[in-house]
Amino acid sequence: QARLDGERRLIIDALRCLAGFAFEVSDLDQCERYATEGLVLATGPKLAPERAEILIALSATQASRGQLAAAQLLYSGASGVPSWK
């Protein structure tokens, strides 16, 4: 299980980086796809910090689209993760 969690962390981190790159080049749709894929993988308490980082990426995407209520909700979800503050 520890090895599987480590592999999932690596994949989630790669997806977060790809989402960040897509965000930087203003490809919000691709950013959202990468972040959503990472969010699907980031389940369980051991992956809570990774989940928080992915929620931040999704929050930035929503804010850039002018969907501020959705962005705030996602950011609140990230800041509510005990290991992420």
Report pLDDT digits (tens) over 47-79: 888 989 999 889 999 999 999 888 888 888 777
Helix (H) or strand (E) holding 82: none
Q: Which residue, among 79, 71, 70, 24, has the nearest Cα to 52 in the 3D structure?
A: 79
Residue 20 to residue 18: CA distance in whole angstroms = 5
Report pLDDT digits (tens) over 3-30: 777 899 999 999 999 999 999 999 999 9
Question: What integer pLDDT is reported at residue 71 of this predicted model?
Answer: 87
Residue 34 to residue 31: CA distance in whole angstroms = 5
- 84: which DSSP letter? -
Q: Residue 80 carries which side chain, given as an amino acid letter?
A: G
Question: What integer pLDDT is reported at residue 81 of this predicted model?
Answer: 57
